[in-house]
Amino acid sequence: MSRSLLRFLLGRVVGLVLVLLVTSFVVFSAVHLAPGDPVSFLMRGRPVTPEARAALTAQYHLDEPFLNQYFMWLGDVLGGDFGRSVQFRQDVGDLVAQKLPITAFLVVYAMVLVTVVGLALGILSALRPGLVDKLVLAWTGTSIAIPSYIAATVLTSVFAVKLGWFPLYGAGEGFTDRLWHLTLPAVALALTFAGLLARVTRSAMLDELSREHVEVARSRGVPEGQVIVRHVLRNALGPIVTVVGTMVAGMLVATSIVETAFSVKGVGSLLVNSVTVKDFPVVQALTLLVVAAFLVANLVVDLLQPLIDPRLALGGDEK
């Protein structure tokens, strides 16, 4: 068992590295193919002497052939050096280290909201057909349809400006202050995802509720609470966990919109900004980060699945 687990993990890690390699190459090419020269963006409309242009071009290895640039970058990354941001003139590692805690906090916070609200509404909706179900469906439909930037505007004007309960911008310091600062952004971020999760939970639960084993359990006189928890929810967890796993990566990407709207300077707003000014090293590092987060989240989901449903062996596809 542990040997197969080891083999499974090893396989996944190799896969992860391969996917990261391929993505890094695709992103590198994409950024390079897009028109425009980073040095021009760097100078932001200021005059630049030909010597200075040449020096900057050499400094960022922009004068090397494309493949050389890629391999130089790759070599540095393997050595732990992600390069230097063209626009911030800081090491990318430092830059990301400054911003990542904010985004991580925001994503975890939003994820907690999504899980609690999404699960609760989904379960409620599945167990109370009729009016409650209709209301929840209407609400989830709306929340899925509301773009996060609209939610951001509405939340700000009501809870920050009119009522003054929450701050208007920034990420705060220390745990409680940060919690307070990031509440509105987390809610804006969580809305759509919570709606989705509620829908998934609802249908997974309904699916299980109509299964034979539930009927059997009930006819045997198992208390209803236990039926729901042990036989319905437990079996419905499979799709729910899978969806939550994919949401983590989706959320990392969605932070770009929410962070911009709330003036929270995290990784999301950094990514958007870096793409537009062609700050190659930052775009590369952040893309890899998002892809890695996605892969790791998936890996965790895969590791959890057999625990939820022992019928699913690890690497079941080998059969």
Partner 1 sequence: MLRTAALAAVAALVAAGCSGGGGDNSSGSGAAFDVTIDTPAAKGPLDKVKWSLYAEPQTLDYAYAFDFPINTVLANVCENLLRVTPDLKISPGLASKYTNPDPLTWVYTLREGVKFHDGTPMAAKDVVASLTRHADPEVGSSYSTVFKDVASITETGPLEVTIKLTRPNVLLNEQLSASPGIVESADFLAKAGKDYGNPQGGVNCTGPFSLEEWKPGTSITLKKNDAYWDSTLAPKTSELEFVFIQDPSARANALLTGEVDGGYLLPTTSFDKLHASDGKLYFGAITGSYSAAVTNLKGALGDRRVRQALSMAIDRDGMVQAALNGYGAPAKAPVPAAGWATVPAERAQTIHNSLPAITQDPAAAKKLVEEAGADGKKVVVATSNLAPEISVAANAIQAAGKEIGLDVELRTIAPDAYTALFTDPATREGIDVLVTSGYDMTPDPLEFYAALQTGEFANYGNWSNPEYDQLVKEALGTTDPAARAELTVKLQEIALRELPGIPLWDSPMSLYLGKRVTGVTPNITHLSYPWAATLGSAN
Binding site for partner 1 (CB under 8 A): 35-37, 40-49, 51-52, 54-56, 59, 84, 87-90, 94-95, 98-99, 102, 149, 153, 156-157, 160-161, 164, 167-171, 173, 260-266, 269, 276-277
Minimum Å distance from CB 64 to partner 1?
17
Complex with partner 1: residue 156 or 192, whichever CB lies closer: 156
Decide whether 94 or 215 has the Cβ nearer to partner 1: 94
Shortest distance, CB of residue 2 to partner 1, whole angstroms? 43
Rounded to a whole number of angstroms, the minimum distance from the CB of residue 287 to partner 1 is: 18
Amino acid identity of residue 83, one-letter, is: G
Residue 265 to residue 104: CA distance in whole angstroms: 12
Q: How far is the CB of 250 from partner 1 (least distance, A)?
A: 22
Other C-beta atoms closer than 10 Å to the C-beta of 276 total: 11
Contact (CB, 8 A) for 201 and 123 = yes
Residues 6+ apart with CB under 8 A from 36: 278
Q: Which is nearer to partner 1, 93 or 239 (CB)?
A: 93
| Nearest distance, CB of residue 88 and partner 1, angstroms | 5
Are 111 and 103 a contacting pair, CB within 8 Å?
Answer: no
C-beta closer to partner 1: residue 181 or 202? 181
Specify the residue, 42 or 190, whose C-beta has the smaller distance to partner 1: 42
DSSP annotation string for 193-211: HHHHHHHHHHHHHHHHHTS
Q: Would you say 264 and 182 are in contact if contact means Cβ atoms under 8 Å apart?
A: yes
What are the residue ranges of helices labelled H in 175-279? Answer: 175-181, 183-209, 212-219, 224-226, 234-261, 267-276
